Amino acid sequence: MKKDILRTIGENMDGFSKGQRQIARYLLEHYDKAAYMTAARLGHEVSVSESTVVRFVIELGYAGYPEFQRALQELIRTRLTSFQRMEVTNHLIGNGNVLEKVLLGDMDKIRRTLEGIDQSAFSSAVDALVNAKRIYIIGVRSSATLAGFLNYNLRMVFNNVRLIETTSGSELFEQIMDIGAGDVMIAISFPRYSKRVINAVTFAKGAGARVVALTDTAEAPIAADADHVLVAQSDMASFADSMVAPMSIINALLVAISRAKEADVNDRLHRLEEIWDHYDVYDKSPESTAEGDIKV
């Protein structure tokens, strides 16, 4: 169950033991740093044992320290400003090898995404997209690149794809006012969550469309109105979230859809190849064709 950790700690301060109060005060003042500490490290910071830290988080209602830590990390991702996020990242990485730590972190995000993703939700999302009357894609700010990539590739497969591009709330509703039964909206949203995407999902659901949500947790705002929720890990790597795992899910969606619509996809791609050749779209020099004549 989602809870406000800091409020819970503050409200129960008087009932804590001396050691627990030391932990509580540290968390209230330095929750941004504590979110990425081990139980042993947190205990060392406040001069209590690791077991005291573990008992403390269990008393707060968590199954163990890992669950508490994930909840605390989610809290800072939705609360911290970009500047504060950068400070936390610098604290975590220290003076180590930045490239190695970031890439290893991204590998871990993909692993955790694969372990945690709902396979049935993924399959249902593919079926919904394959059979959709129209497909609407929305993702703003940091998610706009993901939405654009998905739009570009889905348009290779379907002729019914619409990328929602908005700079204001009124423009948003002008572009989705005709959405309805038989349509599917793919909404992409990661912290800090955009109200434009949340409003778009609420509108689409109310109009009878199905919603596929690609987000960082099943408790994200857009998940409440979604028919299919695809969760991708996106812990912050700096002031911005890492989008490696969400991009991997998008790639998987594209592959699954192309397999389900193989004949149609082949026809469209052959036609596109003819158009590209006719209008000399791609460089055909020996250097470019030597790489397998791949077109991007």
Q: What is the pLDDT of residues 190-215, one digit of tens each?
A: 988 899 999 999 999 999 999 999 99
Closest of 223, 216, 188 to residue 202, by C-alpha: 223
**Does residue 2 have a pLDDT over 50?**
no
The pLDDT of residue 165 is 87
DSSP string, 110-147: HHHHHHH--HHHHHHHHHHHHT-S-EEEE--GGGHHHH
| pTM, full prediction | 0.74
pLDDT band at 130 (very low <50, low <70, confident <90, very high): very high
- Burial letters for 208-245: b for 16+ Cβ neighbours within 10 Å, e otherwise? ebbbbbbbbbeebbbbebbbbbbbbbbbbbbeebbbbb
Q: Quote the CA–CA distance of 68 and 137 in Å, as a whole number.
A: 34
pLDDT band at 296 (very low <50, low <70, confident <90, very high): very low
Residue for token pair 């497909």: 135
**pLDDT averaged over the chain?**
87
Mean pLDDT of 183-193: 94
Q: Domain residues of the chain, as ranges?
A: 5-110, 116-260
Name the least confident of 81-90, 160-169, 245-254: 81-90
> What token pair was written down for 212?
């596929």
CATH number, domain 116-260, options 3.30.1330.60, 3.40.50.720, 3.40.50.970, 3.40.50.10490? 3.40.50.10490
Domain 5-110 has CATH 1.10.10.10: yes
